[in-house]
Every structure is written in C-alpha cells, then in structure tokens.
Structure 1
C-alpha cells in the first residue's frame, strides 16, 4: 500500500469513528444501571421507566405512526402519478424531474443526515 492510500484509509476510519462512536456509546450507556457515565452494571431500568412512566409517550408514538402511514400513502400516490406523467409526456421538464429523482441515490445518507441537522 502506498502512503496516499494509507492516509486516505486512515482518514476514512477516523471519520467513521467520529460519526458512529457517539451512537455506539449512547446505546451502550442506555443499558447502564446508574445515571453516571461510569459503567456500574447492566439494567433495563431506564427503558422500563421510559415506557411505563408517561401515557403521553404512547400517544405521541401513535400520532407518529399515523403521520408516517398517511405520508407514505400520499407519497405512493404522488410518485405513481409522477411516474405515469414522466412516461407518457415528452417535455423539457421530463429531464429535470428525472435528474431530481436521482439526487437521493447519488448523495450518501450521511451527507443528507448532516445537512438536516
């Protein structure tokens, strides 16, 4: 391996650690027995408290599911009619719509996630 390749591999590994280490730490420490950062033992106490302490949580969860399902149904209808329109009609707008359709496939998910922060 040449030096350029090693440096790029090292940079890639460091960036992946920067992005994913906080997530791994958060999930790991969510099973900690105490509120402190130091590990004192495995426990599901915080998850039990989360899911049993407030009925508002379940109401919010139900609303989130309802909004997700509703937006999915509307998205399917819009996408279906958009695809039919792209297939049947020839216009200058057709190429622009095709380009916009490929943007989510071209951009990596991490870039979109960071951009939405």
Structure 2
C-alpha cells in the first residue's frame, strides 16, 4: 500500500505514519496468539452442541500460550502478554472462584477424566 497508494500514506502520516517492517513482524508473530482466541470463542459460542467440556481445556490452552509468549524475545509481544497474563490471572488464578460445574463436566468427559482437574 505504501508504494501503490499515495492517499494511504498521506492519511496515515496524520496519525503517525504507515506501518514499517518491524510493525508487520509484530503482527505476524501475534497472529497465532489471536487465532487461539478466535478458535476458543467459536468453541464457546456453539449452540448446536455441548461446549462445557471444552471450556476448561480452551482456558488452559490460552493460559499456556500466554506463558509461552512471556518468554518471547520480541519486546512488544512480551509487554502485551504480561498485561494479558495479569487479566487472565485475575479471572482464573484462584480455583475457588471458578464454577465447580465446569470441572464436573470435564471429569465426566471420557477423553479427559482427571487430567486437567489435578
């Protein structure tokens, strides 16, 4: 867009300029992270099948992914991950605040049994 569309560049200069190569690298690196959230939201919002047994597994996957991004060498991703970790822990760190029925449905699912509950 920067080389093909002059109005694009002029408009973006008003708000800081067009994206540079480092910005695009950050977007590419964070794309997988956002894809996990997209897939989780699709899984949670299903209306034609039971989703409660998938809920805990998706939450654990998101938590593991956030922790993995905390070790990222990219400073921008590390900063965003740190903020997300604080919000994630606020909701999910204390097991006593989580609805017990989510864990019961997980134990009743023959694919998981006690794997996540432990």
TM range (shorter): under 0.3
RCO (CA 8 Å, sep 6+): is it higher in 1 or 2? 2
The structure whose Rg is larger is 1
Query: Which structure dedicates a bigger proportion of its chain to helix?
Result: 1
After TM superposition, the score normalised by the length of structure 2 is: 0.27
